[in-house]
Every structure is written in C-alpha cells, then in structure tokens.
Amino acid sequence: MSQAKRIYLDTEFHQRVIRGIPSLELISIALVEEGGRSLYLASKEFNLAAAKRNPWLRQNVLPKLPPQQNWKTRRDIRDAVLNFLGPDDVQMVYWVIPHDIVLFEQLIASTVTTIPKNIERTSYNLAQHWADLEKPAILPEVDTTQEHSALYDAYWLRDVDIALRQYAQSKPKPA
C-alpha cells in the first residue's frame, strides 16, 4: 500500500475467563483520523453485569461511556467502522496493547483473510516507535479524568504520533 492514511484506534474491553477460556468483550471503540474526524461507539453486547463486578472497569471505563440508549449492536458497530474507514488505504495505529487490534479485526472480519483489502495487515504500535526513539520526554500530558475513554485515548494517540514524527524529523541524521 502506498501512503496509507493512519487511523488511531483505541478500545475499552472486559477481559474475563469463561469456562476456563480467556475472553475479550468489546465495550467501546474509537477511531480518529489525523485531521480530527472521529467515530466513537459503545457495544450493547458485552456483559454489563460482569463488567460492573470488575472494580477497575466500574471506576475507570463504565462512567465514561455514552448514554446506554446510544449503545449499538456489534453488527451496527462493524458497519459504522467500515463506513468510517471507507475505500482509502488505511493503517491502524495503537498503543502497546495488541488487544485493540485483535478486537478490531474480530469486529470487522470473520477471518484474517476476510479483512478488507484497503486495511493494511501490519498495524503500527506507537509505543514501540517511542521506545525505538529512546523514549524522549515529549509525550502529550494525559488528562487522568478523561483517560480510559476510548475516544479520548484515540485522540491522545494521534497527538503522540504527531509529536513523535516531529521529534524524529528534528533529530540530526547520522553521517
């Protein structure tokens, strides 16, 4: 793919064990383009009662979700995500945790081979890029009152990517 548009991705999810098998349940997903266009949706298909029993989710994620009457089915979320991405070539960008990519791919495709062709198969881990640059102290500040809202976190990723690209361009090139 040439010059794929970067899409900053964040999810909130509930990780639990069901009958001895680890499981991820999508709670919310956010996609942000560099220019600021965004999509933010919450699922009505995760186990809300189980999520409420998780103290971390109850304190950090559930209060930041949109009103419950606006939550969508996974099918509606999938359709909205694919519509948001459109036909342009895109590369998904995330921070550290590959669960975001796993949940994204599970949402949009039944198998790896059915992922739309315009979505690059290699996603971009910004945390790895930051580490490769020797972890410069240039990351945007995190508003801890907003953190763990998928939408806030996806915008933060966009700002991190911009800061890292500016930093990398300003570094002297080895001779």
pLDDT tens for each residue of 64-77: 999 999 999 999 99
Q: How far apart are the first and last CA of the chain?
A: 30
Domain limits of the chain? 5-170
Least confident of 19-23, 33-37, 39-43: 19-23
Task: Give yes or no for a contact between 126 and 163, defined as CB atoms under 8 angstroms apart.
Answer: no
Mean pLDDT value of segment 118-124: 90
Closest CA to 41 of 87, 73, 19: 73
Mean pLDDT value of segment 105-134: 90
3-state SS class at 73? coil
CA distance 83 to 71: 17
135 backbone dihedrals φ, ψ, rounded to 5°? 50, 60
Average pLDDT score over the chain: 93
Mean pLDDT value of segment 142-150: 94
Inform me whether the pLDDT recorded for 10 exceeds 80.
yes
- State the pLDDT confidence band at 1, using cuts at 50, 70 and 90: very low
Percent of the chain with pLDDT over 90: 82
Mean pLDDT value of segment 144-152: 95
Taking the CB of residue 2, how many other CB atoms lie within 10 A of it?
A: 4
Q: Which two tokens stand for residue 54?
A: 């998780």
CATH code reported for the domain at 5-170: 3.30.420.10
CA distance 97 to 129: 14
- State the pLDDT confidence band at 98, using cuts at 50, 70 and 90: confident
Mean pLDDT value of segment 80-106: 93
- State the pLDDT confidence band at 121, using cuts at 50, 70 and 90: confident
Inform me whether the pLDDT recorded for 43 exceeds 90.
yes
The β-bridge partners of 119 are 90
Q: What is the DSSP letter of 122?
A: S
| pLDDT value for 53 | 96
Least confident of 34-48, 57-71, 79-93, 94-108: 94-108
Which residue type, as a one-letter code, is found at position 82? L
Inform me whether the pLDDT recorded for 83 exceeds 90.
yes
